[in-house]
Amino acid sequence: MKKEIKVGFIGISGRGSGMLGLLLQIEGVKVPAVCDLVPERAQRGIDIVESAPECNYPVHSYLDYKELLEREKLDAVVICTTWISHLKIAIDAMRKGLYAAVEVGGAASVDECWQLVRTAQQKDTHCMLLENCCYDRNEMALFNMIKKGMFGELVHMEGGYRHDLRDEIVLGRENIHGRLYNFINRNGELYPTHQLGPIAKALNINRGNRFLTVNAVASKSRGLKQWIKDNKGEEYDLFNTDFACGDVVTTLIKCAHGETIQLNHDCCVPRPYSRDYMIQGTRGTYMETFEGESGVIYLEGLAQKKHRWDDFKPWREEYEHPLWKEYTTEGVKAGHGGMDYLVLSAFVESVKLRQVTPIDTYDTAAWMVVTCLSEQSAAMGGAPVPVPDFTDGYWIDREPYRRGKYCVDEVCEDYFK
């Protein structure tokens, strides 16, 4: 295992700045190169690295990531840019033999997902989608319960990205923020993976199960136009813009073993944040409530009252994932309640070991491609669109996953003793 790794960091806006700060807190990580198209942000990257207590090395900044890849000797890159650039940059980095971590977002095309998979195979490297929700405290406790069989056989799962982002979307040019042109031009499930990640791991997708079809239906688009009318007025140049993306896009995924998944993309009307997680199995149901803080659960034969929800909090305490038990004992580091640090730590561990990442290239491709497929389906009024099998048939007989503390295919209790 390498004691020290060198990571290039690309994309230093709001998210990138936070993630860079967290990455630098992980033992054995050096960030000798940072990059952003915007010079002040590239400089911000340098400032963040240089202010880290362990920084006793020179840091170079780049405006062009290709130059960074050409000039620097790195083990990995972390990419926090925009949805349409994540995989392109990851592919270029992997062609140089580097590990790539990409921030959350949907894919820009089906073809780039194939290129990602083929590059990983040819170069014997890996791309990890930094799906932090796979490491959320609630999701991990629920995963623990699912794997213990407490929900019985899983039948249906739901999740959403319900986040009122109207100002962030509309003010994309003023703030140099990437969402705007996606909402103007694309109609589909633009941000599928926050809940799809934990769902896919619970349903063993790419390992004995797979997504078969995607059907997506989009509502009309009104919320962004209304926001512009209320907040910017007629003089604003986007006043007459028609946004392609429906305010609420509902996507259904059918799996090879019969399970169904519903995703809700909902960023353009006023509402509090929620990821709407729901698990339904033959022995019970979990449903997220209270803005995602904990939720309610009903397990047949174990619920306090028949046909009445139990608060999930005591269940979460009882079935806390060992990673979270360890993490809360050591002191949670910031970033969405702690999951950001864990997802970065999972990536760093894999790079140090030069082994497969817990969210691997096949997961990354299968989860991200849902965006492009949902666009195709929505354009055809919700018609089913087949999901490519990025494993080329190996989903029925894959090599074993790598066990360990950060494994999200199994709860590896033995690693915590």
Ligand X SMILES: NC(=O)c1ccc[n+]([C@@H]2O[C@H](COP(=O)([O-])OP(=O)(O)OC[C@H]3O[C@@H](n4cnc5c(N)ncnc54)[C@H](O)[C@@H]3O)[C@@H](O)[C@H]2O)c1
Distance of closest approach, residue 344 Cβ to ligand X, in angstroms:
11
Q: Which is nearer to ligand X, 2 or 66 (CB)?
A: 66
Tokens, residue 140? 């991990």
- Choose among 267, 285, 266, 288: nearest CA to 277: 288
Q: Does 82 bind ligand X (CB under 6 A)?
A: yes
Q: Which stretch binds ligand X (CB under 6 A): 8-16, 302-310, 380-388, 400-408?
A: 8-16
Q: Which stretch binds ligand X (CB under 6 A): 4-12, 51-59, 112-120, 320-328?
A: 4-12
Q: Does 336 bind ligand X (CB under 6 A)?
A: yes
Q: Which is nearer to ligand X, 154 or 196 (CB)?
A: 196
Q: What is the 3-state secondary structure (H, E, C) of the chain?
A: CCCCEEEEEECCCHHHHHHHHHHCCCCCEEEEEEECCCHHHHHHHHHHHHCCCCCCCCCEEECCHHHHHHHCCCCEEEECCCCCCHHHHHHHHHHCCCEEEECCCCCCCHHHHHHHHHHHHHHCCCEEECCHHHHCHHHHHHHHHHHCCCCCCEEEEEEEEECCCHHHHHCCCCCCCCCHHHHHHCCCCCCCHHHHHHHHHHCCECCCECEEEEEEEECCCCHHHHHHHHHCCCCCCCCCCCCCCCCEEEEEEEECCCCEEEEEEECCCCCCCECCCEEEECCEEEECCHHHCCCEEEECCCCCCCCCCEECHHHHHHCCCHHHHHHHHHCCCCCHHHHHHHHHHHHHHHHHHCCCCCCCHHHHHHHHCHHHHHHHHHHCCCCCEECCCCCCCHHHCCCCCCCCCCCCCCCCHHHHC
Cross-strand pairs, 296: 287, 311
Distance of closest approach, residue 178 Cβ to ligand X, in angstroms:
3
Residues 148-207 that bind ligand X (CB under 6 A): 176-178
Q: Which stretch binds ligand X (CB under 6 A): 82-90, 117-125, 145-153, 352-360?
A: 82-90
Distance of closest approach, residue 176 Cβ to ligand X, in angstroms:
6
Distance of closest approach, residue 68 Cβ to ligand X, in angstroms:
9
With contact defined as beta carbons under 8 Å apart, do 9 and 20 qualify?
yes
Q: Does 123 bind ligand X (CB under 6 A)?
A: no
Q: Which stretch binds ligand X (CB under 6 A): 9-17, 52-60, 253-261, 405-413?
A: 9-17
Q: Which stretch binds ligand X (CB under 6 A): 36-44, 111-119, 272-280, 325-333?
A: 36-44
Q: Which is nearer to ligand X, 82 or 251 (CB)?
A: 82
Distance of closest approach, residue 369 Cβ to ligand X, in angstroms:
16
Binding residue (CB under 6 A) for ligand X from 13, 182, 206, 264: 13
Distance of closest approach, residue 64 Cβ to ligand X, in angstroms:
7
Q: Which is nearer to ligand X, 160 or 281 (CB)?
A: 160
Residues 16-35 that bind ligand X (CB under 6 A): 16, 35
Distance of closest approach, residue 172 Cβ to ligand X, in angstroms:
7
Q: State the residue for tokens 């950060």.
A: 406
Binding residue (CB under 6 A) for ligand X from 6, 30, 41, 321: 41
Q: Which is nearer to ligand X, 163 or 207 (CB)?
A: 163
Q: Write each residue from 277 to 316 as x if it is in contact with ligand X (CB under 6 A), else as -, in one continuous string.
A: ----------------------------------------
By CB under 6 A, name the binding residues for ligand X: 10-16, 35-38, 41, 65, 80-83, 85, 103-105, 132, 176-178, 336
